[in-house]
């Protein structure tokens, strides 16, 4: 038997104002689209803004549905939209902001498991890491240089 350790690493910014200007702008887009989320059931709103290598920004917000789990998370809305509209572009950076209608979210809220898998698929497809910045409504912002920090043992087409 052997034992393995898997280490992850994040950069922590005290607030969105500490981010580089380009990322501040991207996070502002994520916050703005978050406010347009359709979340009548969970009352939990998420916005995602993706920067592509062609300079385009693609947005997504969570879209809920009474027939759970038919809705989609903001991250997957943005990722799938970027893949549909700009199939040859690479995702360079992603900013995510989440907030609850019922209480203040002060800690960074990472993507769910399904979104992590979708981000992983695009990293694998483009053979290039995606910088991921995520935060709650206020407070610290976490930066991951790759989805591998959030999903270190990912599943990809090589297993099929």
- How far from 58 is each of 32, 103, 128, 148, CA to CA, in Å? 13, 28, 18, 22
Q: Is 22 a catalytic residue?
A: no
| Structural contact between residues 151 and 120, judged by C-beta atoms closer than 8 angstroms | yes
Among residues 17, 18, 64, 75, which one is catalytic? 75
Rounded CA-CA distance 103/157 in Å is: 40
Rounded to whole angstroms, the Cα distance separating 113 from 52 reads 23
Indicate which residues carry an active-site annotation.
75
């Amino acid at each position: 038997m052997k034992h393995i350790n898997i280490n992850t690493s994040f950069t922590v910014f005290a607030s969105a104002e500490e981010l580089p200007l380009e990322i501040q702008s991207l996070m502002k887009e994520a916050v703005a689209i978050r406010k347009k989320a359709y979340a009548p059931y969970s009352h939990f709103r998420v916005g995602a803004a993706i920067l592509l290598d062609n300079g385009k920004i693609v947005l997504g917000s969570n879209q809920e549905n009474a027939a759970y789990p038919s809705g989609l998370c903001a991250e997957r809305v943005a990722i799938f939209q970027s893949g549909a509209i700009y199939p040859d572009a690479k995702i360079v950076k992603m900013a995510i902001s989440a907030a609850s209608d019922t209480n203040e979210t002060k800690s960074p809220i990472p993507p769910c498991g399904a979104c992590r898998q979708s981000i992983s698929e695009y990293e694998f497809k483009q053979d290039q890491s995606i910088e991921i910045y995520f935060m709650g409504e206020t407070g610290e912002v976490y930066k991951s240089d790759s989805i591998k920090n959030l999903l270190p043992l990912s599943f990809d087409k090589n297993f099929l």
